[in-house]
Chain A
Amino acid sequence: MGTGWASQHNAAWRSTAVTVGTSILAVTIALLAGAVFIAVSGHDPIESYRALWNGAFGSRRAVGETLAASVPYIFGGLSFAIAYRAGMFNIGIEGQMVMGGLAAGLFAGWDLGLPAVVYVPTSMALALLAGGLWGSIAGVLKAATGAHEVITTIMLNYLAFRLLSFTVLETDKHLPVDPQLQATHMAPPEARLPIILSGTRLHAGLIVGILAAILLWYLLFRTTFGYNVRTVGLSRGAAAYAGIRWGSTVVAAMFVSGGMAGLGGGSETIGLLGQQYNSPQGYGFTSIAVGLVGRNHPIGVIAAALVFGVLRSGSNAMQNQVGTSREIVLVLQGLVILAIAGLAASGRIKAWWARRRRTTMPTDEFSNTIGVEPGVTPEL
């Protein structure tokens, strides 16, 4: 038998440390590589990053902006994470956010005169439902016909964008939309997520996001549903053996995934902006990176969302003060994804590196620092 309790504890702790370490390493690599890009574009990387940092944390207002910028990433990352756990690659987060934002925007724009305690939660619930249903379409298509979710969710994105345009450009007076402004009506204060840090735009969407993450953690790691989702995502054969229905589990997971995205769209609409404009916000694709950096773990997603929020909110200051294009942030996001993918393939890189050196055998510590997850090593 093993070497007792301490070592087991140690092993579990170690695998978590490896996971977290990988994400941190990926972000670090991206920042270093980004520095090269900045330098090539003729700016000082250190100055740029300093401006970025100050832009994100330099004042109360800045901190509020940074946290507010993280909110949609939290929802988007959670959305990606649960789908991924079920073995689904949800590229449709953007469309699901649009559906959620539109639902909440229309409902809030109607100005039904409800008290805030009713109005806000109902709007958010509608956002969840709209996003969830939109997401489950891809789930149903997959379960019923085997259509690949990457294709269907991309198509559903376009469909959602058209639906949004169609709705907000509607000139008929039945809908609370302003075709001139190309947006839903501005939500009344009692239909808005309240500001939680005075003097900033930080709204209660952050709290909803954190609660959603905790709930999702509970769902995944404490309930039968979550167990089924994780089993289905890792082994269809074992799921069949255990009598877990693959189809319905995938559809349900896609509902939750779309629902998280819908909440994200809703929280932007009735939180930050007050109305849904005729343009997708563009959080969907970054959300994939958030999910991956957060290792598709709800708590990891929150941490990753904060990182991406910092990049986003600090980028303006960087552009204004140093002149470094804020688009560099997009480059950084791409680099993070590349770094994650690269580290996943690090086994091969390690072998290549070792072959180059040929002198000493690599110590095992090295293989353990980079993403080689226990249990998957020898028989893969």
Chain B
Amino acid sequence: MVVLTRGRVGRRVAWIVTEQVEVPQPQMAVEMLGIVKRFPGVVANAGVDLSVERGEIHALLGENGAGKSTLMNILMGLIHPDHGKILVHGRDVRFHSPRDAVDAGLGMVHQHFMLIPRFSVTENIILGSEGPGAFIDRQAAEERVAQTAAEYGLVVDPRARVEDLPVGIQQRVEILRVLYQDSNILILDEPTALLTPQEVEDLYRVLNALRDAGRTVIFITHKLREVAAISDRVTVIRRGMTVGTRVTADTTAAELAELMVGRGVSLRVDRTRAHPGEVALQAFDLTMKGRGGVNALDGLSLSVRKGEIVGIAGVEGNGQTELVETLAGLHIPESGTILLGEMDITRDDPVERRRKGLSYIPEDRHHRGLVLPFSLTENMLLGNSEIPPFGDGRRIDYAKTEEITRELMERFDVRAPGPETSAGALSGGNQQKLIIARELFREPAVLLAVQPTRGLDVGAIEFVHSRIVAERDKGRGVLLLSFDLDETLDLSDRILVIYHGKIVGEFSGERVDRAELGLLMGGRVPHGDRVGITT
């Protein structure tokens, strides 16, 4: 701006023209310009631009491995870019560590939890935002955490140890931590991957309230439904480059999907009717103690036939995890029988069950499904190491395993430089694809699929769904457990409702009365009685 003032120039008084740099309130909370980041063998960000307005919810969308998490880790100072410029509230910043970013008012919920399992909820939440001084007033901290939790409707026990909590609750703890830090700019990397629909609703409410209070939110998700529901604008990244930013209200799911993948994507599952055969997996009267002495499984029985997909619907914490882990052989039930075809596998260990034809996609890919420092080849051996062609029980054929890994990477589109890459260097979705590839490779008789599409992009979900349906059509039995009720409904030929460790209802996949399903999941039979009392 040019400003004229009367002033003295030498001996004369005259108009002086000065140029003033205008300092307007910057509109942009975050600007990232031309960000480039290379990893050995991969260009994760190849010149990404992202502008996020102050006070908006901005969705970040992109295929698995597109570079979203990398970009956000760069913003948080966890990774240093090779090139590029970052402005926060108009100021040029260089964060050298997450601490700098937190100091500047940024907070991030990571795609994979960064919680310390042995610490309590409170300890995890206050970590990094303890005040000065050597002592922590535990009680005051717990109260404050409980208060924050209540304020946002994210209920957790502040004293519980994180390792004792189900993953869905851990997700809440992660979100609470950022809220507790009182960040100005919140980054959420796939925060809903492990939330139930109700929790997702709650989160929307929290985010809307935050936005109305002038905070800025960057929200990474693969679910187009969520983009539509929550965001004001959306930026799509493909293969490390920005392909466009849209105002959410002016775009469609189909357009976004196409921008993301570069082709049209079918957003619904195409499948024909099931032709169920003989029983593939059967459980009778399974009982298992859970925490606190309550039966996690309370005389549960179910069966899965060859050629059908059976979905389990239920509110989290009703024995789903225990059920799957018992079927997979991680726990031996206190009573009951499990049959795989004709074989009694109740007392078999997981290796034996695999040998007999059971495959298992676990819920937690970082703590169960993968060994992160291992190479992809070594991860392919997890659970397979004693089974030909991988090994004979004594030796392992690494050359053969590598060959298979290479081939599966191709077939399942696992994007990584090569089989020697460590699993920890893969993007979340690619890690998931690796596990799915491994578990389907053995051509199992029965597949236990827990959150099979957690963190996958729309293209990959389409692929995995069609693979699961194809497995079904090859005569395999599939037991599906997903927090995403829509996925369960879309994919299942039969739906079983679990409540308090028991199956309390069954629906055919063709005709599901959602209202009735909801009631059953909540422990009520449709005419109003509590299920627990009637039986």
Residues of chain A lying within 8 A (CB to CB) of residue B400: none
**In this complex, what residue of A is CB-closest to B423?**
A375
- A241 near B382 with CB under 8 A, answer yes
* Given the contacts A241-B330, A241-B360, A376 and B382 also touching, CB distance less than 8 Å: no
A2 to chain B, nearest CB (A): 4
Chain A 349-360, CB within 8 Å of chain B: the 1/0 string?
Answer: 001001100100
The SS class assigned to the B binding surface is loop
- B373 near A373 with CB under 8 A, answer yes
> CA–CA, A231 to B375, complex, Å?
12
* Interface presence of A10 (CB below 8 A): yes
* Given the contacts A2-B42, A2-B417, A8-B417, A238 and B80 also touching, CB distance less than 8 Å: no
* Interface presence of B94 (CB below 8 A): yes
Most chain A C-beta atoms within 10 Å of own C-beta, residue among B80, B362, B393 = B80
* Residues 232-252 of A at the B interface (beta carbon under 8 Å): 234-235, 237-238, 240-245
* Given the contacts A224-B395, A231-B382, A374 and B69 also touching, CB distance less than 8 Å: no
* Interface presence of B351 (CB below 8 A): yes
- A227 near B423 with CB under 8 A, answer no
> How many A-B contacts are there with CB distance less than 8 Å?
148
Residues of chain B lying within 8 A (CB to CB) of residue A227: 378, 381, 385, 396
Interface residues on B, range: 35 or more
B387 to chain A, nearest CB (A): 10
* Residues 106-163 of A at the B interface (beta carbon under 8 Å): none
> CA–CA, A231 to B398, complex, Å?
15
- Total contacting residues, chain A, CB less than 8 A: 46
* Interface presence of B130 (CB below 8 A): no
B73 to chain A, nearest CB (A): 5
* Given the contacts A224-B396, A241-B382, A2 and B422 also touching, CB distance less than 8 Å: no
> CA–CA, A241 to B379, complex, Å?
12
Stretch at the interface among A177-185, A255-263, A323-331, A361-369: A361-369
> CA–CA, A354 to B370, complex, Å?
34
B346 to chain A, nearest CB (A): 15
* Interface presence of A14 (CB below 8 A): yes
* Residues 409-424 of B at the A interface (beta carbon under 8 Å): 415-424
* Interface presence of B488 (CB below 8 A): no
* Interface presence of B349 (CB below 8 A): yes
Residues of chain B lying within 8 A (CB to CB) of residue A225: 394
* Residues 56-96 of B at the A interface (beta carbon under 8 Å): 69-70, 73, 78-82, 94, 96
Most chain A C-beta atoms within 10 Å of own C-beta, residue among B353, B396, B416 = B396
- A241 near B362 with CB under 8 A, answer yes
Residues of chain A lying within 8 A (CB to CB) of residue B81: 361
* Interface presence of A59 (CB below 8 A): no
* Residues 319-336 of B at the A interface (beta carbon under 8 Å): 328-330
> CA–CA, A2 to B420, complex, Å?
12
- A238 near B369 with CB under 8 A, answer yes
* Given the contacts A8-B417, A243-B351, A374 and B425 also touching, CB distance less than 8 Å: yes
A227-B378, A240-B350 are known; give 5 further A-B pairs, CB within 8 A. Answer: A7-B417, A11-B40, A11-B420, A243-B349, A375-B425
- A residues apposed to B, CB below 8 Å: 1-3, 5, 7-8, 10-12, 14, 221-225, 227-228, 230-231, 234-235, 237-238, 240-245, 348, 351, 354-355, 358, 361-364, 367, 373-379
List, sorted by A's number, 22 A–B pairs whose CB atoms are closer than 8 Å.
A1-B415, A3-B41, A11-B417, A12-B420, A223-B396, A224-B386, A227-B378, A234-B372, A237-B368, A240-B350, A241-B362, A241-B368, A242-B351, A243-B329, A243-B349, A362-B96, A367-B80, A374-B425, A375-B422, A375-B423, A376-B373, A377-B425
